[in-house]
Amino acid sequence: MSKNYPFALQDLPYSYEALTPVLTSETLHFHHDKHLNAYVNNLNKALENCADFHHCSLNELLTKINQLPQAAQTAVRNNGGGVYNHELYFSTLTSPDAGTKPSEALQAAITRDFGSLEQMITQLKQAAVSRFGSGWAYVVADVNGVLSICSTPNQDVPDLCQYAPLMTVDVWEHAYYLDYQNRRPDYVDAFMTLINWDVVSRNYENRSFCK
Ligand code: MN3
């Protein structure tokens, strides 16, 4: 994750071809190089005149939005959320034949909280497909390590004081339109083969919360 202002566009942790055939390099170029890049630039622009907040991490900014100058609040919520969500999204993907699996600790939590990995995926798909308009669906953990599924509209993020997002599904049309047009359920189905369970497991084991 970017440390603090000025935030920088992070490179993808894999090649633009790595997610084919589920997501093409054309989609990744637009999504990362244009959409995420715009969120980074607009977040920096919004923070330009907020020197008191230049030391804040992205997580801190997103949990202190109402302490920011009024004029910056909406832009930081939308663009800071955009940076947070996309960094999480891109960092937890890998090629569809990578064959990663949840760690023992994460698998135990999945079994306890959902019954099985398949049941968790079914609930995640349901949240992603039923989100009206643009938004996100997540697997999150609370301070006790209890897992749940949640969803946000636009570029909002879950409450980072209460929940550590482990992974997320982008259901904005820009995430899938070139490859799936209006078929969001097909994108969501195929997306589930891209999850990098090594990274999701690490996010579970290293979960932290804003105060
Ligand atoms: Mn997106």
Distance (angstroms) between ligand 1 centre and the Cα of 169 equals 9
The pLDDT of residue 145 is 97
**Binning pLDDT at 50, 70 and 90, where does residue 179 land?**
very high
Q: Please measure the distance between the N-terminal and C-terminal CA atoms of the chain and give it in whole angstroms.
A: 18
**Binning pLDDT at 50, 70 and 90, where does residue 2 land?**
low
Average pLDDT over the chain, rounded to an integer: 97
The span from the CA of 114 to the CA of 198, in Å, is 19
Distance (angstroms) between ligand 1 centre and the Cα of 115 equals 30
Residue 63 contacts residue 164 (beta carbons within 8 Å): no
Distance (angstroms) between ligand 1 centre and the Cα of 30 equals 9
Residue 24 contacts residue 119 (beta carbons within 8 Å): no
Residue 39 contacts residue 79 (beta carbons within 8 Å): yes
**Binning pLDDT at 50, 70 and 90, where does residue 3 land?**
confident
